[in-house]
Structure 1
């Protein structure tokens, strides 16, 4: 598939600098028995870079993955969250950092946060790369936000359109999908 016409919103340097700042903010909270849970698929590049920045901030989280979906092949959330892959670790009495690419409707992150709290997590903190505050369908706030995002369909840095564009080192939007 040829790359569509993409306008850059946040470049590699901006993203790297923000990851370092987020890691410092997370470290300042002195989390206990930290478990970082990356929400797949879109967060995988952000989570990897954030985890390396957390290491540089003297944090040593264990790492897990959840694969949740409310989109499937669509570009708009269905409203129903499915667990496609669950965490394997016991979260009881631990600080959990949920890492996701974008906070939009909030359904997926609210579902994951509620699930982990119900399993006995000490606290569940939410870290998102992008936040679209005007799109919220449920009440949830991120504890850490990389960038506020305009109401555009974004791709790159792990985020896709029909499984394409995840490899891009920047975050952009496809012109014509405004």
Structure 2
């Protein structure tokens, strides 16, 4: 059965906020800026953000980091695996980690510490969505697109079982009632 997905943030709201974020980053005048997109969910946000940064007159380079903190279940783990690492020299560079959603914070904290340990001048976080009530690690985003309610979100790069990444908006999955009525479980 196909889940019902309601719009949380539409295309126009996302485009306006991404443009605003690029302006906020430009004002900070970063040194030898390196954007590091945390895969997979951030790929659309990161692409739109760097294009807006270009329009704001910024010069930057871009890299990718693919990290995994999930085992077989859906709960995050303190065990972070590096599936793809940044290949560029990060020494004496200002870095912005770009991620789709900041929830537990474990993965972004790991990435930030890893890059600082390799000599980055600074590491800031740009998160499209922020769920501070889910935080397990001591980290916050320097640039936030939207505060996110406690809902399971999809679209604009975020998925549910590898589906729905292509949606041009951010939506939330409406909990389905189990067959036979009763209360739905999960988010």
Q: Indicate whether the TM-score tops 0.5.
A: yes
The structure with more radius of gyration: 2
Mapped to 1, the partners of 2:6 and 2:70 lie a distance apart of: 23
Q: 2: CA distance between counterparts of 1:20 and 1:88?
A: 28
What are the ranges of 5 or more consecutive residues in structure 1 without an aligned counterpart?
Answer: none
CA contact (8 A) 1:92 1:122 kept: yes
Cα gap change, 1:73 to 1:50, in 2 (>3 Å): farther
In the TM superposition, residue 73 of structure 1 has moved relative to its aligned partner by 5.6
1:79 is displaced (CA, Å) by 2.9
Shift of 1:71: 2.4
Please list, as runs of the form range in 1=range in 2, the aligned pairs for 1:64-79 lying within 5 A after superposition.
64-71=63-70, 74-79=73-78
Render the CA deviation track for 1:45-93: whole Å, top value 9, x for unaligned: 0000001010011112100000011125643212321110000001000
Counterparts of 1:66 and 1:12 in 2: how far apart (Å)?
26
Q: So what's the TM-score if we normalise by structure 1?
A: 0.96
Partner of 2:87 in structure 1? Answer: 88
- Work out the CA distance in 2 between the residues paired with 1:72 and 1:33: 36
Q: Is the 8 A contact 1:71 1:77 kept in 2?
A: yes
Distance 2:71 2:158 in 1: 13
Normalized against structure 2, the TM-score is what? 0.92
Q: CA RMSD in A?
A: 1.2
2:97 maps to: 98
Judged with a 3 Å threshold, the aligned counterparts in structure 2 of structure 1 residues 21 and 72 are, in CA distance, closer, same or farther, namely farther
Equivalent residue pairs, number: 177
In the other structure, the counterpart of 1:112 is 111
**Could you tell me which residue of structure 2 aligns to residue 62 of structure 1?**
61
